[in-house]
Amino acid sequence: MQMYLISDNVDTYTGMRLAGVDGVVIHSKKHLKEQLDKVIANKDIGIVLITEKFSREFPEIIDDVKLNRRQPLIVEIPDRHGTGRKPDFITSYVNEAIGLKL
User: Could you list the pLDDT tens digit for every one of the 102 residues in the chain?
Assistant: 899 999 988 988 998 899 999 999 999 999 999 999 999 999 999 999 998 888 888 889 888 888 888 889 999 888 766 666 666 656 666 777 777 665
pLDDT at residue number 68: 87
pTM: 0.76
pLDDT at residue number 41: 93
Could you tell me the domains of the chain? 2-98 (3.40.50.10580)
Inter-residue long-range contacts of 41-47, CB under 8 Å, 24+ positions, other chains counted? 42/4, 43/71, 44/1, 44/2, 45/1, 45/2, 45/3, 45/4, 45/72, 46/1, 46/2, 46/3, 46/71, 46/72, 46/73, 47/1, 47/2, 47/3, 47/4, 47/72, 47/73, 47/74, 47/75
